[in-house]
Amino acid sequence: EAGVTQFPSHSVIEKGQTVTLRCDPISGHDNLYWYRRVMGKEIKFLLHFVKESKQDESGMPNNRFLAERTGGTYSTLKVQPAELEDSGVYFCASSPRGGIGYGYTFGSGTRLTVV
């Protein structure tokens, strides 16, 4: 089966611009997660979708970040306006329904650089 796909793999934008990251989960996976690692820090949870609904968005850093999952398929994470501290690697993961007993499958990430 195809894995979790993220694009772009790299993005370089100027401070104040908008960037949209996309994640295509494994087909049929109801659960979709966003995580990120900013420079020198640990990987941190951002939010969790179950199908198209936000189950947990407690990790979203502020209202400059907006995540959507249209029709319960792919998801986008928009950063608007981007700040320097948003630079890092953004990971998406997915798991099946009732996926708490399963491991999550992560994508390779999008490396975001804000200059």
Partner 1 sequence: DAKTTQPTSMDCAEGRAANLPCNHSTISGNEYVYWYRQIHSQGPQYIIHGLKNNETNEMASLIITEDRKSSTLILPHATLRDTAVYYCIVRVVGAGSYQLTFGKGTKLSVIP
Which residues form the interface with partner 1 (CB under 8 A)? 4, 31, 33, 35, 42-45, 48, 55-56, 58-59, 91, 93, 95, 99-109
Measured distance CA(59)–CA(11) in Å, rounded? 22
Q: 64 vs 111, which CB is nearer to partner 1?
A: 111
Nearest approach in angstroms of CB 59 to partner 1 is 7
Q: Facing residues of 68 across strands?
A: 76
Nearest approach in angstroms of CB 56 to partner 1 is 5
Q: 107 vs 114, which CB is nearer to partner 1?
A: 107
Measured distance CA(49)–CA(52) in Å, rounded? 6
Q: 59 vs 81, which CB is nearer to partner 1?
A: 59
Q: 9 vs 20, which CB is nearer to partner 1?
A: 9
Picking from 107, 100, 45, the residue whose alpha carbon sits closest to that of residue 74 is 107
Nearest approach in angstroms of CB 17 to partner 1 is 24
Nearest approach in angstroms of CB 16 to partner 1 is 28
Measured distance CA(77)–CA(60) in Å, rounded? 11
Query: What Å distances lie between residue 36 and 64, 71, 82, 84, CA to CA?
Result: 15, 24, 15, 14
